[in-house]
Chains A and B, each alone.
Chain A
Amino acid sequence: MAFSLLLLIFIYYPVISLYIFPPKIDKKIYSKSFYIEIPKINVRSQIISNVDPFNETEYRKALEKGIAHAKNTSLPGEKSTTFLFAHSSDLPWRITRYNIAFFRLPEIQKGDMITVFRNEKTYKYKVSDKKTVWPNEVNYLLNTKKNQLILQTCVPIGTSLQRLLVFADPL
């Protein structure tokens, strides 16, 4: 019993610590040329650009370093859809070690602010919508006409059953 309780604490400590002891801002992030900031959920993370969203091996590697920018979608400032995705959950010991930037993404609400920094330029977005879709609904990834930012992660947290999409319009 004690072992089980210890194991449970071991599993959930990183998750709880995200709320109780929010991670301090890593000053190195400011030296990166491409990163995102979501104050509501305390996210500041590097963005890895041009990651193939249909190549799991490739994007898994990229997600260890930060948030991935989907290849063939536009970069901020290019007047069409920017698609970013990141982990919401992983193995417990990886939760703190690797980036699970979008663990708290379901908390985002309409009107929340998102800021993307790229090449010393700031792009501000306002959350306009939130949708939970099935994994095969790739049309959100393929249709890149609209000038918007889409953030994606897996929900419910701890599974990869569905995808949460957060839509944000540029300001």
Chain B
Amino acid sequence: MIKKFFTLTILFLILTPVFSAVARAEEVVLSITGNGSSSQNTVEVNATTSTSVQQSNNAQITNNVNTDSNTGNNQTSSNTGSSDIQTGSISSTTNVNNQNINTNVAENKGCGGCGGNITAEISGNGANSINNINLSSANSIDIAQANSAQITNNSTANANTGGNQANNNNGDVTIRTGNITSLISILNKNINLNFDPQGNNNSSISISINNNGSGSINSIVLFFGNSLNYASNNFADIKNNAIQNLNTGDNTANNNNGAVLIATGDIISVITIGNENINGSFFNPPPTQIIPPPGGGPGPGGPPGPSEQPTSAPAPSGGGGGQVSQAAGQVLGAAIGGILPVTGGYWLLLMTFFCLTMLLAGGVLRFGSDPSPPAYATI
């Protein structure tokens, strides 16, 4: 009896820190209760847990947005009489969005699939009983997630509606341009991303050997060995350059002596570059269920997460020294489609070439060839 008590006390003293740690983490309850005469009772708990999570993010982002708008350079010199220049109508929108950039979330709960609530009980006990409970749980989890993203977005949109000059006019010059609409939208969405939120295992083990009897030998052995190594590396170098130089005509009408109409306008150019999730690597659960938290995930040892970095520069519109003219583009619409009536053909020219070729070929055949018969023909 003294021996039994001594053994239990020693085991309790040795294993209490480990046992209690495991109990806190996973609610493990082991008990050999009651005991009986001449019984040997043994409880062994070996729990080894090693967790190492390394997460690192590196993002260098450069966004340069330039938008210059101008409505025409506009000149009407030396006019005695009517001369109109109507430009106006520039509308340019530039959106550059780099959203969550780098995101690491590594929740390290549980032991990667091992039991959560464990209760092993040998109760009652009796005479001659030898009771053993052995639990050994060894968990080792290494997670290393690394992201690096270098993003460079440059978008330049210069507008201008026409160079516009109408020199030396002596009446009736109309230059209408206007109508530039240029949209640049660059979006690089979640970029690198690593998720590893495992530990949703709700498993429960309860083993119990009850009442026991005389001469009974009872033993409960539990062993869990779990090891998870997860390494994920992401690197993304994204460069999006979108340049739009828009202009509607250089527009000069020199030395005009009445009635010149230049109506250009109507440039619509849209550039949209996407690049959504980019790298990724999701471990558990499936990626559709994971929404990366704004501001980053609170993984153990992980750095503060990414923040949304919208960079948008709505461009100025209108301005300049001109009037807004909606009709200018419509005139162009008619003008672009058509040409001045075709009142000539190339048949005369082609037939002349054909005849001359035939004439030359005939001349070569008639006069250019050797009149004498070949040497072998005279033998």
Which A residues form the contact surface with B (CB < 8 A)? 1, 3-5, 7-8, 11-12, 53-54, 56, 59, 63, 68, 70, 81, 85-92, 102, 129, 133, 135-143, 145-146, 148, 152-155, 157-161, 163
Contact = CB atoms under 8 A, between A and B. Distances in A.
Interface string B257-271: 111111100000000
B291 interface: no
B340 interface: yes
A63 B343 contact: yes
Interface in B80-100: none
In the complex, which of the residues B331, B341, B345 has the most CB atoms of chain A within 10 Å of its own CB atom?
B341
Contacts of A88: 343-344
A36 to B, nearest CB: 15
B342 A3 contact: no
Contacts of B338: 53-54, 138
Interface stretch (B32-40, B148-156, B316-324, B357-365): B357-365
Interface residues of B, number: 35
B340 A163 contact: yes
Contact of A89 (B259, B340, B341, B344): B344
A7 B355 contact: yes
Given A89-B344, A89-B348, A92-B351, 16 more contacts: A1-B363, A7-B351, A7-B354, A7-B358, A137-B340, A138-B335, A139-B262, A142-B261, A142-B263, A143-B172, A146-B172, A146-B259, A154-B342, A158-B345, A158-B346, A159-B344
B352 interface: yes
Contacts of A12: 352
B340 A135 contact: yes
B339 A8 contact: no
B207 to A, nearest CB: 92
Contact of A129 (B257, B263, B334, B363): B257
Interface string B61-75: 000000000000000
Given A1-B363, A54-B337, A142-B334, A155 B344 contact: yes
A55 B172 CA distance: 28
A131 B331 CA distance: 23
